[in-house]
Amino acid sequence: MKIPKNIEPLVQDGVVDDVIRQLQSGKEAAVYLVRCGTDIRCAKVYKEANNRSFRQAAEYKEGRKVKNSRRARAMEKGSRYGRKEQESAWQNAEVESLYRLGTAGVRVPRAFGFYDGVLIMELVTDKDGNAAPRLNDVELEPDQAREFHRFLIEQVVLMLCAGIVHGDLSEFNILVSADGPVIIDLPQAVDAASNNNAERMLNRDVENLAFYFGQYAPELLQTQYGKEIWKLYSEGNLTPETELTGQFEEALEPVDVTGVLDEIEAALIEEFRRRERELANDSDSDE
């Protein structure tokens, strides 16, 4: 096939020997099957920001640190240079997350290098050696659904212990390899400690898993792993070995009745005064 423009420099430099075919094109990137020496790998080519359906929402970028002060100022101002640097930081976030999570033992593809908007990484395969399907393309038996769900909850815990929340985890961002689920697509991953949206994102990730696997094993719909996991994390008690129950008791705080009544009274007084001012202004206008 014709070599994509972004991959041409990698072919010229000998990083990639051949582009075999396109595997898929998603909301943020196109993925190609490439040959690197004797190995078959993936080349993820990120789309330009204006050609992506997924936008770099502020909630995902919150807490990401930029060491270079000039770059940080440019990104904040939104200049042409700043937008380019912002795009680079967005892409590099996935590379950094893959290395960080791989070291932590999370099942993610192995990264081999990042070259100006092109990420070379491991090809995840099924038992026949073909490119692994996405989870949403696989039919599951109830027991298999329960096993995959249990495994992925463990992966969520491992990720959080490494300080990362996926932020967009669903059946569309999980491959089913010969050895089980593999988590992919991480450019929107957030730092759990510095992003104020991390708790909500983690709960959403876990709820997505429960909803999907609950189609095959309905009892999973009743679990509350996300809230349980975050509570343990926020208290400093979460480890990869933590045994979870999937249950969570909401803390019922006593209602401050006196405080509520005081607020209502204050609101009524303010409304009374506002109407008095309006009447006074109307009288002045009549005069």
- What pLDDT, in 10s, does the model give residues 225-247? 999 999 999 999 999 999 999 99
pLDDT digits (tens, 9 = 90+) for 80-102: 654 555 666 667 888 999 999 99
- Kindly state the percentage of the chain with pLDDT values over 70: 79
Tell me which of 185, 191, 262, 284 is the catalytic residue: 185
Residues with Cβ within 8 Å of 211's Cβ and at least 6 positions away in sequence, in order, are 221
Say how far apart CA 31 and CA 115 lie, in whole Å.
14
Going from the C-alpha of 172 to that of each of 33, 184, 225, 287, the distances in angstroms are 19, 9, 20, 70
Confidence of residue 66 (pLDDT cuts 50, 70, 90): very low
Reply yes or no on whether 128 is catalytic.
no
- Kindly state the percentage of the chain with pLDDT values over 90: 64
In terms of pLDDT, which residue wins out, 147 or 65?
147
- 47-55: long-range pairs with CB below 8 Å, 24+: 48/87, 49/83, 49/87, 49/90, 52/27, 52/28, 53/27, 53/28, 54/27, 54/28, 54/188
Query: Do 155 and 166 contact (CB within 8 A), yes or no?
Result: no
Q: Give the Cβ contact number of residue 6 at 10 Å.
A: 17
**For 174-178, 182-186, 269-273, which range has the lowest pLDDT when averaged over its residues?**
269-273
Highest average pLDDT, of 68-77, 170-179, 277-286, comes from 170-179
In terms of pLDDT, which residue wins out, 223 or 262?
223
- Tell me what the mean pLDDT of segment 50-67 comes to: 51
Backbone phi, psi, residue 20, to 5°? -80, -55
pLDDT at 54: 46
pLDDT at 1: 81
Confidence of residue 267 (pLDDT cuts 50, 70, 90): confident
Say how far apart CA 111 and CA 103 lie, in whole Å.
11
SS3 134: strand
Reply yes or no on whether 13 is catalytic.
no
pLDDT at 75: 44
Provide the sign of the torsion angle of the four alpha carbons 7, 11, 101, 25, taken in this order: positive
pLDDT digits (tens, 9 = 90+) for 130-141: 999 999 999 999
Tokens of 249: 């008791």
**For all residues of the chain together, what is the average pLDDT?**
85
pLDDT at 53: 44
Tell me which of 168, 179, 256, 286 is the catalytic residue: 168
- Tell me what the mean pLDDT of segment 10-17 comes to: 96
